[in-house]
Structures are given as structure tokens and as C-alpha cells.
Structure 1
Amino acid sequence: MNMVIYMDRFIASGLMPDLQKDFKMSDSASGLIYTAFIVSFMLIAPLFGYLGDRWNRKYIISVGIFLWTSVTLGMSFIPNQYFLLLIMRGLVGATEASFSTIAPSIIADLFVADQRSRMLSIFYLTIPVGSGLGYIVGPKVTSAANGNWHWAFRVSPGLGIIGFLLMTILIKEPPRGAAEGKRTNTSLNASHWVSDIKTLFKNPSFMFSSLGYAAVAFVAGAIGLWAPSFLMRARNLTPCQTGPCINNDSLIFGVLTLISGILGVIVGVEISKRCRKFNPRADPIICACGMLGATPFLFLALGLAKINLVATYVFIFIAETLISLNWAIVTDILLYVVTPTRRSTAQAMQIIMSHLLGDAGSPYIIGALAELIRRGKQESPLIMFNSMEYALMACGGVVIIGGLFFTATALFIVKDRQKAVMESED
């Protein structure tokens, strides 16, 4: 289900050139489509976090998936009106929040220690797989439907129905803190929601890792939406000699996203498992190294685009792989520095922080910045390319800031982990 949700999320990004043409959208208006999705996702997440710590999580997720499937299917029938597109993407984000907020806490209650890390890695491997499929499925289905992009948004609802049936029939609700309970033999009860929020704000490891993850979200949102368009603009700098240009940039970027994400998650988890044995601060250090190491490759990918697209693809792949090291690790950090009865709330709070400071605004910011750069200049393929290139370079600075936040996490993580264990045993 996580794979299907992320596939649907990035189908719109893979189809952005088609959507811009049919809806007559500017760069900033295109970025606002993704922003509407993330803002609604972010605003509804606290509700599901509260419910997930107190009510049956299986039923909440199942209802959320059913609503998400219905709204996503409805989006495939809208006419070419920008306002309706904006509203529908917002509703898709709101219904998706039920699953993304609660699902990791169920995994946490089924597994512990290295086994939990392994299962989280499997769960988060579906993010790059789904994201990559979104870039691939969108253009391919649209092409098969003679250019009708509405059909691309009808793929994920069918898979969503299968996910709904699997969740309803196969998933069993584990007791909260079940994995820890095997070890501590304690019974855990939820505390007051306001107390939970105050405690999370006083947890340095949770706060700094969430801020670091916000930097990841900022870059992922901006690159995820604008990379296919940026690559297409780079290709348009050299007109085709014979016949129409064949543009496979969305397909290639989707494949790179899929492979780099899988590789990054696997490598990150495996390094974490080995380094934890001799360094309890290994997890945030790995995240920091991934972010800081990705920075030069991101700048190289942008700077070489109009010279050599092959080199750009190579450096994008390396940068995405390094950034992907932290996907499963960040959630693992949250799960072991927060007590079981606060995990859904913590997940919701991390979603708010990462999206509010990250991808809720980054697609719009990058689009608006590109428009600002080319304001007053005569529009040409070179101006269109340069404006997007310079706008995307802002992501490099955000990656550095994210690396510094993960470095700060390493200073507090040992103390905060011990505190969470003690609270669970009280």
C-alpha cells in the first residue's frame, strides 16, 4: 500500500509538462499543486496521530485507504480546470495521511531491535519503488491512452482496492508496546495528548532529526516535481535534427529514482546495523554523512546539464542514493527515542515539521524563484533552462543545513534513547 500511495503521489510529477499545457499553468502554479497536496496531508496528520495512539489502528487505516481510493479515482474524471485540480490533490493528501501516520507504529509493535530496522527498511523500500513507478506509469499510460492523462490517475485506485482488502483481511492489531512488552513485561497506557506534545518538544533527538528530515523533504519535493521538466528544458537547448524530439526524461528519472532509493535504503540500514554495535551514535552520523556527501554531486548534476546530460543523470543518481540513506533510519530513530504510547503522535508531529518546513513549500518556492530569475527577460529555451537551474541550486544549501541538524542529533541520541527505555519500564 505504501508503494501504491507513493506511485500515485509522483504520477502528477511525471505528467507535469502535460498538465502545464492542458491547464495553462505557470511554474509557480504547478508547484502549488504539490503544495496543496502536502498542506492538506500535513494538517490532517495530527488527527490521525491522536487517534492512532488511542483507537484501533487497523480500522482507521482501512477507512483511510477506502476514502483515498475513492478520491483518487474521482480525480481522474475532472475537467481541465485548475481550481478543481488543486482541490482534488488536496483531498488526496488528506486521505493519504491516515496510512502514512499510523503504519510505522504497527511495524514498531511487531518487531524490535535489528529485526525492526530490517522490517522498516522493507517498508521504506516501497517509497523509491512507488516514486519511480509514478514517473514511469504516468507517461506510459498517457501515451497508451492517446495522450489522455486522466487514465494515468486510474491505475492506483485499482491497486488501492487490493490494498484495502489485504489490510482488512490479513492485518491484525498488535498491542501498543507489544515488542517492548516481551522484554519488559509491562502494560503501557496513553498519556494526555498535550503532555505528549510537550514531551516531544523537549526531546532533542526527535526535534533535530525531524528538522534534518525536513531538509530531506524540501529537496525531495523540489527535485521530485521539477527534475523531469528541468531535464526536458536541458534537452530542448539542442533542437532535434530530424523529426520530433523523443523525450524519455521522465522515464529515465523514474528508473534512477527507483534504483537509487532501493540502494540507499538497503545500504543505510546495513551500515547502521553494523556501526551500532560499536557506536551508539551511528544512526544520526550516517544521516549527516549522506546529506553532506550528496551536496557536491547535486551541484555537479545541475551545472553539467547543458553540457552533458549523461553526466547529469550519473550525479543525480549518486546524490539521490546518498540522501536515501536516511529514509528508514530517521523513522528508526523516532521509534527508539519515543515511548510506544506516543509514537503515532510523534509520527504525526514529524510529518508536520518535515512538510511544513520541507516539501509543502519547496515546489512552489522553486517555481516562483525560477519565474523571478527570468522576469523581464525575453523567453527562450536558454532562459527557461537557466532560471530553473539557478532556482534548483537553492536545494544544495538546504542539504547542508539538513546535515548539520543530523550532526546535532548525534550529540543527544544516547541520553534520549536511555530515557525512552526507562519511561517504558516505569
Structure 2
Amino acid sequence: MSLGQHSSDSAPLFSSDSEAEAPEEAAGRRGGGEEAASGVSGVRARLIVCILCYINLLNYMDRFTVAGVLPDIENYFQIDDGKSGLLQTVFICSYMVLAPVFGYLGDRYNRKYIMCGGIAFWSVVTLASSFTPQQHFWALLLTRGLVGVGEASYSTIAPTIIADLYVKEKRTSMLSVFYFAIPVGSGLGYIVGSQVSAVAQDWHWALRVTPALGLIAVLLLLFVVREPKRGAVEARAELHQTSWLTDLRALSRNRSFVLSTLGFTAVAFVTGSLALWAPTFLFRAAVFSGQKAPCADEAHCASSESLIFGIITVITGVLGVFSGVQVSRHLRRKTPRADPYVCAAGLLLSAPFLYLAIVFAQGSTAATYVFIFLGETFLSMNWAIVADILLYVVVPTRRSTAEALQIVVSHLLGDAGSPYMIGVLSDSLRRSDSFLWRFRSLQLSLLLCSFVAVVGGAFFLATALFVESDRTRAESHVPAADEPIVVPKSGRSTRVPVSSVLI
């Protein structure tokens, strides 16, 4: 092996080099051009996708465990809806602020080790949050905020690894598998949170499940996952890393990326609001209609709504992601604009069903759950498709930065503020502390979700106008002669014009 090569076990922590298998190690296992180009065998590539899916599932499972026991937390700390909404907001804010940092690092350094450090930190902080005493609600807010640090390290990077393993239809299929973990993990968060709390008769235990599973994830990353070669599977001319400001300028001029990000922001707003408030809203509806008794034990509220909503979230998520990918795949034979059309249809169809679910909550529990099922199914059609749009309209060396920027915008304008906004709006509309107004005020505030879904659908329709040209531009991208690139030298980086490197 030459001095310029790294074996799979010797890639330095801060190296951007891939951990591709040595030629003699992978020669007998390369079944296709993609595996050969990425430097990772077909079997290992599928294992990597499975591991990333497992971690993504844990990511969302932990995120929504709190929502599954929110009535317990409100009763335990004696807090109002505004403060309850802060639990999701502080998490999303830290996640959003640090996403660009990890996006920058993910485009330049070894992605596997970045994810390992982030997941280990996330597991420790999540475990610490389960020991918050009753008099210190601020400590729970602080630890939930720190959880966002670990999750940001993973969410910005994992899709780019899949993009470096597969292309075209295979990439779409693998991304759909990866994004199945979002609704499934979210649903499991509600289910595990509510059921562990019920068994232990203490909501604190609900937060102690995912840290142990996080340790397993770190071990799998360290010993199974290999870093693929960036952009190699796309059979394009060698690309160089450009400066961060150059990346941002290029992304800001990418109309498909900007518009699809705004459309996804609407998805984040709606899902963030429903994720935190739907089980609580359904519980209050049951109390208001006399089907349930109010909370009596400050450590545990007897509620089956989190369990039912979690099951619905799992089923609708799998059904929505699968149907969205299949419809998009079929429509691609007729139009290259299929992806944004399907995303737009999903949001526009979800809006009326979510509206009906909120309106019918006080009159018919069965009708409410049917409308929630339909609304969440259409909403879930977006997940894998939005990620695929980003990956094919952005060049490989800017994808982690693009993922990070999309995370920042979608959370800043979406679910970073929507749970808190819904909570504050609910408090402001409440005329008294009766069961009637606790239910009615939250019901009126949640109607905002249907309006935002329609706005998001309009953004995806606008994306369809530009997606063809932006995809062609990304696939045929060649660095401009005056575009500065980053050249590693002695462990440091310097910016030089392309022309000087060619000379």
C-alpha cells in the first residue's frame, strides 16, 4: 500500500479520506459499478444503510418520547402550555444552530467519527435528563437542548453517506428505507414513552430506554460502517471542496433547493406541532367529553392517547413514505417534475383531513382518528422525496452543507417555534382554567396547521418549475476557473483558485 493510501482501520479522525475497502479485500464482492466506485462492497453498503436506519429510528424515538408523556410532565412540574412547548423548541433550536457546524465538518472530515461522538454525547445527556428533580424544570430544558447537539451531528451527515453509496432508483429506494425510520421512530417514541411510564408509574423511566440503545449504535458505527468515496458513484469528473461561503452562495442561487426547503419548512411546522400536542389534545378532548378522568397522580397520567397516536404514526408513516416513493417512481416515467408534484399533493391533501380531525375531536373519537390517519399518511409522503430532491440538485461536495442549511431553515421557521407558538396561542385564547377552555383553546390554535400545509404545497408547486434545469446543472457541474477550492496541506486547509492548481 502506498504512503498516500489509508487502510480501513487507519483513516485518521480528522481526515476527509474514505475508508474504502482495499482492492484485494473488495475485489471478490463487487457486484456492480456503484459498489466498485464507492469503494464499499454491496453487502457492506446494505449493512451501512441498515445501521443508519437504526440510528435514525433511535433519533426520532428519543425526540418524541417526551411528547408521549407530556401530560405527566405538565402535571409533575405544574407548568402551562407555553412552557411545555419550550421542551420541543429548545431541542430544535440547539439542533438547528449546530447543524451548519456539522454540515461543514461532514463535507470535509471523516463522517463516521463525527457521528460516533455526537451519538455518544446525545446518549449521556438523554440519560441525565431522566434524573431532573421536580423543583428544577430549567434543568430538563437544558438537557433537552443539549440532546439537539448530538442529533445534529447525525441528521446532517447520514443521508450524504447513502448518496455516496447509491445513485438513481437505488438511491431513492434506500432513502425511502432510511426515512421509514422517521415515522416508525416517532411512533415508537409515543408508544415506548407512554407504556414504560405506565409500567414504572413514573415518567422519568421513559427517558432511560434510548441511551442504552445509543451505545449499541456507537459500537456498530465504529466496527461495521466504512466511509465511502464522496461522489464517486456518480461517475463525474473529480470535484474539489470549495470554501463555505462559496457553497452558501451556490446554494442560495439554487432555486429548487430554496423552494423545496421552504416547502419542507411547512412540513416541519405541521409535524412539529402535531408531534408535541396531538396526544395532549386528544387526552383533553377525552376529559372534556367525559370519557376520561383528569390527572390525579402527579407522576403519571392514565392516558391511552399516546399509545393510539403512536400506532397511527407508525402505520401512516410507513404507508405514506412507501406510497410517496411508488407514486413518484411511476410519475417519473411521464414527467421529470414528479417529485415536487407528489410533495405538493401530499401537503395539499393533508390539510383538509387535519382540519376535520381537529374539528371532530369533541364529537366523535372514531372520526377523529380516521381523519388523523389520512392526514398523517398524506403528510408522510414527503420525507424521502424531499431528501432525494436535495441530493440530485446539489453537487456531492456541498451536500452536507445543503442538508445543514435545510435543517436550519426548516426548523427555524418550522418546528423550532411551532410547538411553543401553539402553546402560547392556546394560553392566550383560554378564558378560564376549566376543562372546556383547556380543550377549546388548544383546538383553535392547532387549526393553524392546516393553513401552513396549504402554503407548503404552493412552495413545492413552485419547485416543479425549476427542478429540471437545476438537476441538469448539478449533474454537469464543472468548477469555474476562478472558483476557490480547499487544498489540505500539513493538516490545515488553504483557499486557492482552481487555475493555480491546474498550472
Per the TM superposition, whether the score is higher than 0.5 is yes
1:265 maps to what in 2?
321
Distance 1:178 1:85 in 2: 44
Match of 2:21 in 1: none
Identity of aligned residues (%): 53
Work out the CA distance in 2 between the residues paired with 1:66 and 1:7: 16
Whole-Å Cα distance in 2 between the matches of residues 115 and 333 of structure 1? 14
In structure 2, C-alpha distance between the alignment counterparts of 1:149 and 1:195, rounded to whole Å: 47
Of 126, 130, 150, which residue of structure 1 is paired with 2:185?
A: 130
1:199 aligns with 2:253: no
What is the aligned partner in structure 1 of residue 393 from structure 2?
A: 337
Is 1:303 the counterpart of 2:303? The answer is no
Partner SS for 2:132:
coil
Cα distance per residue 1:117-146 (max 9 Å; x no partner): 00000000011111000000011111111x
Unaligned segments of structure 1, at least 5 residues? none
Q: Partner of 1:358 in structure 2?
A: 414
2:77 aligned to 7, 12, 23, which one?
23
Whether 1:158 and 2:209 are equivalent positions in the alignment is no
Seen in structure 2, the aligned counterparts of structure 1 residues 128 and 231 have a Cα distance that, compared at 3 Å, is: same
Structure-to-structure mapping, 1:87-106, within 5 angstroms: 87-106=142-161
Letter in 1 for 2:257: F
Q: Measure, in 2, the Cα distance between the counterparts of 1:242 and 1:325.
A: 36
Distance (whole Å) between structure 1 residues aligned to residue 441 and residue 372 of structure 2: 19
Contact 1:340–1:424 (CA<8 Å) still a contact in 2? Answer: no
> What is the identity, as a one-letter code, of the residue corresponding to 1:212?
G
Which segment drifts farther, 268-277 or 281-290? 268-277
Q: 1:248 aligns with which of 279, 304, 318?
A: 304
Distance in 1 (CA, whole Å) between partners of 2:337 and 2:82 is 40
Are 1:115 and 2:170 counterparts? yes
1:216 corresponds to = 267
The answer to whether the 8 Å contact 1:28/1:368 transfers is yes
What residue in structure 2 maps to residue 187 of structure 1? 238
Deviation at residue 240 of structure 1 after TM alignment: 4.9
Amino acid at match of 1:403: G
3-state SS of paired residue (1:110): coil
Tell whether the 8 Å contact from 1:290 to 1:325 is kept in structure 2 after alignment.
yes
**Residue deviations 1:269-292, cap 9 Å, x none?**
111111112200000000001101
One-letter identity of the residue aligned with 1:309: T
Q: CA deviation at 1:360?
A: 0.2
The whole-number CA distance in structure 2 between the counterparts of 1:240 and 1:369 is: 26
Which residue of the partner structure matches residue 42 of structure 2? none
* Residue number in structure 2 paired with 1:72: 126
Aligned residues of 1:339 and 1:424 also touching (Cα < 8 A): no
Distance 1:292 1:282 in 2: 15
**CA displacement at 1:67 relative to structure 2:** 1.1
| 1:382/1:108 CA distance change after superposition, 3 Å | same
Structure 2 distance, partners of 1:73, 1:230, is 28
Aligned to 2:460: 406
Native 8 Å contact 1:176 1:188 kept in 2: no
C-alpha deviations, 1:349-383, integer Å up to 9, x for none?
A: 00000000000000000000011111xx2321111
1:134-181 superposed Cα distances (whole Å, 9 cap, x missing partner): 000011111111x2211111100111011111111111001110211x
Paired AA for residue 55 in structure 1: Y
1:277 paired with 2:333, answer yes
Q: Please give the alpha-carbon distance, in whole angstroms, between the structure 2 residues aligned to 1:115 and 1:331.
A: 14
- Relative contact order, CA 8 A, sep 6+: which one is greater? 1
Secondary structure in 2 aligned to 1:402?
helix
Structure of higher CA gyration radius: 2
Cα distance change, pair 358–414 in 1 and its aligned pair in 2 (3 A): same
1:238 Cα deviation after fit: 2.6
1:294 to 329, 347, 350: 350
1:11-50 residue pairs with structure 2 within 5 A?
Answer: 11-50=65-104
Contact 2:198 2:302 survives alignment (8 Å) = no
> In 1, are the aligned partners of 2:287 and 2:293 still within 8 Å (CA)?
no
Q: In the alignment, is the contact (CA less than 8 A) between 2:118 and 2:149 conserved in 1?
A: no
CA contact (8 A) 1:7 1:131 kept: yes
Cα deviation, 1:321-364, whole Å, max 9, x if unaligned, reads: 00100100000000000000000000000000000000000000
Q: Distance in 1 between matches of 2:312 and 2:292?
A: 27
My pick for the range that moved more, 5-14 or 246-255, is 246-255
Name the counterpart of 1:171: 225
Aligned to 2:377: 321
Q: Return the TM-score normalized by structure 1.
A: 0.96
Q: Is the 8 Å Cα contact of residues 221 and 359 (structure 1) preserved in structure 2?
A: yes
Match of 1:232 in 2: 283
2:405 alignment counterpart? 349
C-alpha distance in 2 between matches for 1:330 and 1:239: 42
- Give 1:200 deviation, angstroms: 0.4
Q: Secondary structure of the equivalent of 2:140?
A: helix
Which residue identity does 1:220 align to in structure 2? T
Moved over 4 A (4+): 240-246
Measured in 1, the distance between the counterparts of 2:381 and 2:142 equals 34
For the Cα contact (< 8 Å) 1:205–1:416, is it kept in 2? Answer: yes
CA separation in 2, counterparts of 1:24 and 1:129? 31
For 2:293 and 2:83, the matched residues in 1 are separated by 33
8 Å CA contact 2:422–2:445 kept in 1: the answer is: yes
Say whether residues 1:55 and 2:109 are aligned partners: yes
In structure 1, distance between residues paired with 2:383 and 2:479: 28
What one-letter code is carried by the residue in structure 2 that aligns with 1:85?
A: L
Change (3 A) 1:383 1:170: same
Q: In 2 relative to 1, CA 221–342 (structure 1 residues): closer, same or farther, beyond 3 Å?
A: same
8 A contact 1:28–1:367 mirrored in 2: yes
2:426 paired residue among 370, 392, 395: 370
After superposition, the Cα gap between the structure-2 partners of 1:161 and 1:246, relative to the gap in structure 1 and judged at 3 Å, is closer
Q: Write the letter of the residue equivalent to 2:281.
A: F
CA contact (8 A) 2:187 2:313 kept: yes
| Aligned position for 1:10 | 64
Q: How many residues align?
A: 420
Structure 2 portions without partners, runs of 5+:
1-54, 481-503
Q: Provide the rounded CA distance (Å) in 2 between the counterparts of 1:136 and 1:190.
A: 43
